[in-house]
Amino acid sequence: MGFDELTDHVDSVWDDDVVPTLHEYITIPNLSEAFDPDWATNGHMAAAVELFASWARSRPIEGMTVDVVELEGCTPVLVCEIPAHRAAVSEHTVLLYGHLDKQPEMEGWDDNKGPWTPVLEDGRLYGRGGGDDGYAMFASLTAVEALVASGGIHARLVVLIEAGEESGSPDLAAHVDNLADRLGDVGLVVCLDSGAADYEALWVTTSLRGLVSGVLEVEVAEQGMHSGSASGVVPSSFRILRNLIDRVEDCGSGRIRLPELHAEIPDDIRSKAEAAAPLLAHELVGALPLAGSTRPVEEDVVELILNRTWRPALSVVGLGGAPEPGDAGNVLRPRTSAKLSFRLPPTTNPTLALEAVTRALTDRVPYGATATFADAESGPGWAAPPFEPWLADVLDDSSERHFGRPAGYQGEGGSIPFMGMLGTKFPTAQFVITGVLGPGSNAHGPNEFLDIATAKRVTGCVAEMLAAHAVQGS
């Protein structure tokens, strides 16, 4: 392939076609199904899917078919199938994955920005969903176009864009089973829904954490009571909730107490953490918007890396049952609830972890109060298989060409349930999980942005991966 032709094509498509379409996408409040149970009626998801499908159908990719696949009771998936170039040697399919559903708005956006208001500023496109993960389909198809335009070839390709990842991909297993024949024999998976430690290299994710989540609710009375009459007699639902959470998490250190949520950290993972620590120090400490004199939980960057990638952790991501402080009366409240999100090491069994969490939170509740752990769900983590030599070479070489530095490798603290599912379904496949979410990009939070230059470079690297895969014999 011609490098200049490749990058010129990527730049042109991104500037003229992708960025304007992402502006339109950002204006659509297509919240994931967990945050918009009436998504089918509200129509925002359908609008986003149609925008993506229309753009894909307009692209000059020979032989490509574009389908919106719907199953009853499920969010849709968008499937783009591209036949292999006649000169391709590889008989294996490349599956390129992304998603188009979004997280809720959140508060704290700058005055000139907002979740549904696209703003292009200093080369960064602000708004919900651009970098997580609306860009993925556009980058994938642009990579194919640029590859062909610069003289390269590719094997059979399937681009799969789902609409439920931010809800834990509850519908994806059904879609994968339904699409089994169309997916074919997958030899390489390219997922564009991950993070980057900086904007100076292609960052490849080597592991993802699993997930257990649910809503813990403690109920002590049928209605609220005057605190002067009830306090000291009726137990506080908040105090019981604190007690139950302390069964699973040490409130002093944050360490998870349940052995079922832990896993042995491999020696090579610790070695990679030590090697990556100098590059990741800024992301893990310096780039965090810590308030006042708040410090990270550890001073050792290596331990912070392992905390974020191979140790379980609890985040209380929601609270219910209490009014705002300014609206609070002197009332002993009847119930308190908390949405709990446990991140699990990549190799932890999520089913056993969920059972252990549920048992710890609901057995032998103090004072005989009622405690439930509802809407509970779990998902597996994932650890990458070793890279074959050809893939390791193209990752480093393409990163060097497009970014100026060899590829970086890191575990990620988030979850992509699809990867664990595909790892089981295609045990011999190679996996490249990468993305554009570098320091400050703030996915899920206020002022989320997509760094356009990084997205273009990632697109170029994907094109080179596809070309290298096409000439690999079976």
Instruction: Reduce the DSSP state of residue 381 to 3 states and report it.
Output: coil
**Per-residue pLDDT tens digits for 297-325:** 999 999 999 999 999 999 999 999 999 99
For residue 302, which phi and psi values (nearest 5 degrees)? -60, -45
pLDDT at position 275 over 90 = no
With pLDDT > 90 as the criterion, what percentage of the chain qualifies? Answer: 87
Would you state the pLDDT for residue 265? 94
Choose the weakest-confidence range: 94-98, 190-194, 228-232, 278-282: 278-282
Instruction: Reduce the DSSP state of residue 137 to 3 states and report it.
Output: helix
d(CA 29, CA 32): 9
Q: Number of C-alpha atoms within 13 angstroms, CB side, residue 407?
A: 25
d(CA 164, CA 166): 6
Would you state the pLDDT for residue 422? 81
**Per-residue pLDDT tens digits for 25-78:** 999 999 999 999 999 999 999 999 999 999 999 999 999 999 999 999 999 999
The arithmetic mean of pLDDT across residues 327-336, rounded, is: 96
Q: Number of C-alpha atoms within 13 angstroms, CB side, residue 310?
A: 20
Confidence band of 106 (pLDDT split at 50, 70, 90): very high
The arithmetic mean of pLDDT across residues 254-265, rounded, is: 97
Q: Which CATH number fits domain 210-273+299-379: 3.30.70.360, 3.40.50.150, 3.40.50.720, 3.40.190.80?
A: 3.30.70.360
Confidence band of 419 (pLDDT split at 50, 70, 90): confident
Could you tell me the end-to-end alpha-carbon distance of the chain, in angstroms, rounded to an integer? 22
Single-letter amino acid, residue 185: D
Confidence band of 284 (pLDDT split at 50, 70, 90): confident
Chain-wide mean pLDDT for the chain? Answer: 95
d(CA 70, CA 58): 21
**Per-residue pLDDT tens digits for 367-405:** 999 999 999 999 889 998 889 999 999 999 999 999 999
d(CA 238, CA 467): 58
pLDDT at position 424 over 90 = no
Confidence band of 474 (pLDDT split at 50, 70, 90): low
Choose the weakest-confidence range: 91-95, 118-122, 164-168, 250-254: 164-168
The arithmetic mean of pLDDT across residues 274-301, rounded, is: 86
Would you state the pLDDT for residue 421? 80
The DSSP result for 324-343, as a single string, is: -GGG--SEE-SEEEEEEEEE
The arithmetic mean of pLDDT across residues 259-284, rounded, is: 88
Strand order in the sheet with 370-379: 313-320, 335-344, 210-219, 370-379
Which comes out higher in pLDDT, residue 206 or 319? 319
Confidence band of 272 (pLDDT split at 50, 70, 90): confident
At the topology level of CATH, where does 3-208+382-470 sit?
A: Aminopeptidase (3.40.630)
Domain boundaries, the chain: 3-208+382-470, 210-273+299-379
